[in-house]
Chains A and B, each alone.
Chain A
Amino acid sequence: MVALTSAAAVVSAPRRHRLRVWRGIILALAAAYFLIPLYAGLRFSFQDDAGHWSLYALRAIPSQVGFTGAFWLSIKLAFTTLVGTLVLMVPTTIYIHLHLPRVRRLLEFVTVLPIVIPPIVLILGVLRAAPIWLKASPYLLSLMYVILTMPFVYRSLDAGISAIDLKTLVEASRSLGANGPQTLWRVILPNLRAGILSASVLTLALVLGEFTMASLDLWTTLPVWIYQFQQTDGHIATMVSMLSLIGTWVLITVMVSLDRSESRRSRRKAEVA
């Protein structure tokens, strides 16, 4: 038995080593796939036209024509979309889980449609059908983005709700005297925090980077401005695009750490007690 075991160990050791090597290679390839363009972008944005290291692109950003307007428009669109998405999707998903569980599959299918239908088709259709006053407003884009983010938002919320016993929690709350809004505010939403957070992060990331619809609707959001400004100064445009990427990461990290520190605080409070 001992001999058998050690023989198996002798055979498996090189195999384990080979597996480790392959795992390393695959990880390195995946990292290179993401990091090389990022490195190239960062390097280009910190160089001047002569190829020397320089911070001129960073310093020049605020004074560029149209940057501030595009930046704030993107931020406004991101937050209006976030509010619209959560107001529409949170109650809908909860209602379906509680009262129409059979509709879940249908809703799953419907929410996948924005992925299947290209954004260009969606925006052209809407531009034909929308009334003129809505076409004149940038918030038409928010309405479109609510549709665009639906697949990700629905899945995040659905996973969050499936992780709790929603029906029992709602019934327990009602049996204790809470009405619908009180149950939603004090019981359901706090327990859906992770799902709502992940939906919010995905919504913000998607809206801050969306180009096709904004450009066809003729609104200069940050991605559209970057594209247009590239023809004027590639270094500045690349620097803005890098900062936009870093900004989105920072936003996501802040939101996730806020959630984590909140859970840690609750845990510590309980442990101290």
Chain B
Amino acid sequence: MSQVQGNGGGSGARVELRELVRVFGRTRALDGFSLEVEPGELVALLGPSGCGKTTALRALAGFELVDHGQVLVDGHDVVRVSPQDRDMGMVFQSYSLFPNMSAVHNVGFGLRMRGVRATARRDKAHELLELVGLHEHAEKYPHQLSGGQQQRVALARALAIEPRVLLLDEPLSALDAKVRTGLRDQIRSLQQRLAITTVFVTHDQEEALSMADRVCVMREGRGEQTATPAELYSRPTSAFVAHFVGVSSRVPVRRDGATVGLWGAAVAVRNPEMADSDVDAVLRPEDVVIVADPAGQATVVHKSFLGAITRVTVTVESAEVRVDVRSDVARDLNHGDRVALSVVARDVLVSPRDERVAIEED
């Protein structure tokens, strides 16, 4: 085991991406993107297609050259270091197992490239396969394994080299929902147990919020907000983040100093630095309550049953507002019913009205 290079898999490296720029033709895939990942932390890069999250991961892995910026691992700039010398394990979106090798040989491949003897290599590969629960499939070839099993072997293969950083490029996106949830928990538990610094790219917000210590929401090659999942959901710093993470509704309001008027009440503005007066209030479904009221200002247009709660969509003036209501209460609300709305959040995020179009286009 002592022959295995890397840092021992118990203390991940500190990773810092500084002002990365990568231009493809006229597109700036990375436009001054920066990120810091602490040792042993799992950070998810989340964003819509084309936001630059995969480019950022590939720049970190060394598969993408950057036009400007630094990639620091434990303080050393690795921009000019080739991928094979970066000591980073990577799991890819598409199945990347070598078809000509059995599972155990796939897992031992990285060790073989590091000159580890055959016996030690085999022992280590079996140990890793046991860790991902595939010990009994060690001699099988990739085509004899299911998609979920292949990705678990790929994870074991990436972990076998005891990498300084583990990179996951949408490893669950090709799997069905049930396998995805199981593997998600397994990856997180392994990552925590081995304390490997991990960067995880996904476009699935549920995946990002449930697995990551922190999530970086990306937009047009930049980091829009990096925060813990709870903070990102409850205190988004921009309408884009509020729109992309969780469900939100935009209601046109008139700004009055540090408050906005919402359905007869003055509600504090969370981001008072915003100077515009014509703004939208960005509301989460749990920020609003509705009460059946024939004289109410809103009309029920849609109901989605989600188990304990039902998401009720109402129209008020020109806006559509989604509100979470206990399912037993929502049972009495029907399409076309009039309801009264009120805000229960202690403050609301506001965003310029013209930003709505840009976000909807994203």
A165 touching B94 in the complex, CB below 8 Å, given contacts A267-B141, A269-B139: yes
Any B CB within 8 A of the CB of A191: yes
Q: Are B113 and A176 touching (Cβ within 8 A)?
A: yes
Q: Which residues of A contact B261 (CB under 8 A)?
A: none
6 A-B pairs with CB atoms under 8 Å apart are A164-B99, A169-B98, A175-B83, A175-B90, A176-B84, A187-B98
Any B CB within 8 A of the CB of A190: yes
Chain B interface residue count, Cβ-Cβ cutoff 8 angstroms: 34
- For A183, the closest partner residue in chain B by CB is B84
Q: Are A270 and B139 touching (Cβ within 8 A)?
A: yes
Q: Are B61 and A175 touching (Cβ within 8 A)?
A: yes
Any B CB within 8 A of the CB of A177: yes
Any B CB within 8 A of the CB of A182: yes
Q: Are A165 and B96 touching (Cβ within 8 A)?
A: yes
Q: Which residues of B contact A178 (CB under 8 A)?
A: 84, 109, 113
Q: Which residues of A contact B149 (CB under 8 A)?
A: none
Any B CB within 8 A of the CB of A6: no
Provide the bound-state CA to CA distance between A270 and B88, in Å: 30
A175 touching B89 in the complex, CB below 8 Å, given contacts A270-B139, A273-B139, A273-B140: yes
Any A CB within 8 A of the CB of B146: no
A177 touching B144 in the complex, CB below 8 Å, given contacts A168-B96, A172-B90, A191-B100: no
A177 touching B84 in the complex, CB below 8 Å, given contacts A172-B92, A270-B140: yes
Any A CB within 8 A of the CB of B102: yes
Contact partner, B161, options A176, A190, A266, A270, Cβ 8 Å: A176
Which A residues between 162 and 220 are near B, CB-CB below 8 angstroms?
Answer: 164-165, 168-169, 171-179, 182, 186-187, 190-191, 193
A266 touching B141 in the complex, CB below 8 Å, given contacts A175-B88, A190-B100: yes
Any A CB within 8 A of the CB of B227: no
Which B residues between 75 and 108 are near A, CB-CB below 8 angstroms?
Answer: 82-90, 92, 94-100, 102
Any A CB within 8 A of the CB of B110: yes
A171 touching B139 in the complex, CB below 8 Å, given contacts A178-B84, A191-B99, A270-B144: no
Q: Are A177 and B94 touching (Cβ within 8 A)?
A: no
Distance to closest chain B CB from A268 (angstroms)? 11
Distance to closest chain A CB from B84 (angstroms)? 5
Q: Are A176 and B110 touching (Cβ within 8 A)?
A: yes
Any A CB within 8 A of the CB of B302: no
- For B90, the closest partner residue in chain A by CB is A175
Contacts A172-B97, A175-B90 aside, 17 further interface pairs with beta carbons under 8 A come to: A165-B96, A168-B96, A171-B61, A171-B92, A172-B96, A172-B157, A175-B88, A176-B109, A176-B113, A176-B157, A177-B84, A178-B84, A179-B84, A182-B113, A187-B98, A270-B139, A273-B102
- For A180, the closest partner residue in chain B by CB is B84
Contact partner, A174, options B84, B97, B154, Cβ 8 Å: B84
Provide the bound-state CA to CA distance between A171 and B86, in Å: 13
Any A CB within 8 A of the CB of B138: yes
Provide the bound-state CA to CA distance between A179 and B110, in Å: 11
Which of A176, A191, A266 counts the most B-chain CB atoms under 10 A from its CB? A176
Contact partner, B63, options A169, A171, A176, Cβ 8 Å: A171
Q: Which residues of A contact B94 (CB under 8 A)?
A: 165, 168
Distance to closest chain A CB from B55 (angstroms)? 14
Any A CB within 8 A of the CB of B68: no
Q: Which residues of A contact B144 (CB under 8 A)?
A: 270
Any A CB within 8 A of the CB of B331: no
Q: Are A270 and B90 touching (Cβ within 8 A)?
A: no
Q: Which residues of A contact B158 (CB under 8 A)?
A: 175-176
Provide the bound-state CA to CA distance between A186 and B105, in Å: 11
- For B58, the closest partner residue in chain A by CB is A171
- Using an 8 Å CB-CB cutoff, how does the interface string of A145-169 with B read, 1 for contact, 0 for none? 0000000000000000000110011
Any A CB within 8 A of the CB of B254: no
Provide the bound-state CA to CA distance between A122 and B4, in Å: 56
Q: Which residues of A contact B63 (CB under 8 A)?
A: 171, 174
Contact partner, B83, options A171, A186, A266, Cβ 8 Å: A171
* 7 closest residue pairs by CB, A with B: A273-B139, A176-B110, A190-B100, A177-B113, A172-B96, A175-B90, A174-B83
Q: Which residues of A contact B157 (CB under 8 A)?
A: 172, 176
- For A182, the closest partner residue in chain B by CB is B113
Which of A171, A179, A190 counts the most B-chain CB atoms under 10 A from its CB? A171
Provide the bound-state CA to CA distance between A272 and B136, in Å: 12
- For A267, the closest partner residue in chain B by CB is B141
- Using an 8 Å CB-CB cutoff, how does the interface string of B108-134 with A read, 1 for contact, 0 for none? 011001100000000000000000000
Provide the bound-state CA to CA distance between A254 and B321, in Å: 72
- Using an 8 Å CB-CB cutoff, how does the interface string of B142-174 with A read, 1 for contact, 0 for none? 001000000000100110010000010000000
Q: Which residues of A contact B87 (CB under 8 A)?
A: 177
- For B167, the closest partner residue in chain A by CB is A175
Q: Are A273 and B138 touching (Cβ within 8 A)?
A: yes
Contact partner, A173, options B98, B102, B139, B154, Cβ 8 Å: B98
Distance to closest chain B CB from A190 (angstroms)? 4
Which A residues between 248 and 273 are near B, CB-CB below 8 angstroms?
Answer: 266-267, 269-270, 272-273
